[in-house]
Amino acid sequence: TEPDPLEGEIMDKCLLLHAEHDFNASTFAARVVASTLSTCYCSISSAIGALYGSLHGGANQRVIEMAEEIGDKNNVAAWMEKALARKKKVMGMGHREYKAKDPRAHIIQKYLATLSEKKQDFRYYEILQEVEKVFRAKMETTGKPIYPNVDFYSGAVYRLLGIPAILFTPIFAMGRVAGWLGHILEQRSDNRIYRPESLWTGPEPRAYIPIEKR
Ligand code: COA
């Protein structure tokens, strides 16, 4: 069905906000595969595989699972105590590059507020806002502040648009694919195969002991 103009606009903006974003794990995976002179299809498949992981694009699906497990904003504080005691990572929080709230999260949070109002369904919005508040306060006291990333509010937006969680990574990939292809073409234009060196940190060489003497 045709989306109404507001929902269509939110979807377009979400695709833009998920566009390619520097040397993250999926872009790097695409470039490594491109550097072997494999096909575009194989490079993009590798990128999608990396994106699906819960520490990367798969996080938005995990955020929704977390919100459903919490169930109500009044349960957040107790849930957070337990999660942090178990050293559990809070999905949708933290970023290797951003040391402040991800600018994309600010924008997507506003879309979630708008959609929640439109649908008169505030459950995800209230729970996620409370998770953000409680988690930020906790992390600030440890001197290691951690803020929401692009995945924190996006899953809830998709849910309110009626999109099932299984499609979250494919949507993310749709937003990224043009940038991935740009990287693949750039890699091909001046290619050298990726071949990182590794540093052995195991035992120093030992004398060989014949098997019957062990
Ligand atoms: N919840 C709880 N603690 C977190 C955290 C989170 N979401 N993100 C980072 N931390 C803590 C780590 O436990 C670590 O603590 P330590 O120094 O006591 O060991 C410290 O902050 C540094 O984390 P680290 O995992 O080394 O940061 P990173 O730069 O390697 O990883 C992410 C960045 C995004 C992978 C990480 O923040 C994360 O796993 N976030 C949750 C998954 C997610 O939302 N991914 C989508 C990214 S767009």
What number of residues does the chain have? 214
Task: Give, in order, the Cα–Cα distances in Å from 1 to each of 4, 15, 74, 114, 162.
Answer: 9, 19, 36, 21, 12
> How much is the pLDDT for 21?
87
Annotated active-site residue in 18, 102, 151, 183:
151
For the question of residue 151 being annotated catalytic, the response is yes
Compute the distance from residue 39 Cα to the ligand 1 centre, in Å. Answer: 33
pLDDT-based confidence at 20, cuts 50/70/90?
confident
pLDDT value for 1 = 82
148-196 pLDDT tens trace: 999 999 999 999 999 999 999 999 999 999 999 999 999 999 999 999 9
Q: Is 144 in the pocket of ligand 1 (CB under 6 A)?
A: yes
**12 catalytic per annotation:** no
* Ligand 1 close to Cβ of residue 90 (< 6 A): yes
The encoded tokens of residue 105 equal 């999260």
160-195 CB burial, b ≥16 within 10 A, e <16 = bbeeebeebbebbbebbbebbbebbeebeeeeeeee
In this predicted structure, the answer to whether residue 210 has a pLDDT above a threshold of 90 is: yes
Of all protein residues, the one whose alpha carbon is nearest to atom 30 of ligand 1 is 96
Task: Write the pLDDT tens digit of every residue in 82-136.
Answer: 999 999 999 999 999 999 999 999 999 999 999 999 999 999 999 999 999 999 9
At 190, list the tokens: 């001046």
Residue 57: CB within 6 Å of ligand 1? no
Mean pLDDT of the region 36-51: 98
The pLDDT score that the predictor gives to residue 142 is 87
In angstroms, rounded to a whole number, what is the distance separating the alpha carbons of residues 109 and 125?
8
SS (H, E, C) 173-210: HHHHHHHHHHHHHHHHHCCCCCCCCCCCCCCCCCCCCC
CA of 93 to the centre of ligand 1 (A): 7
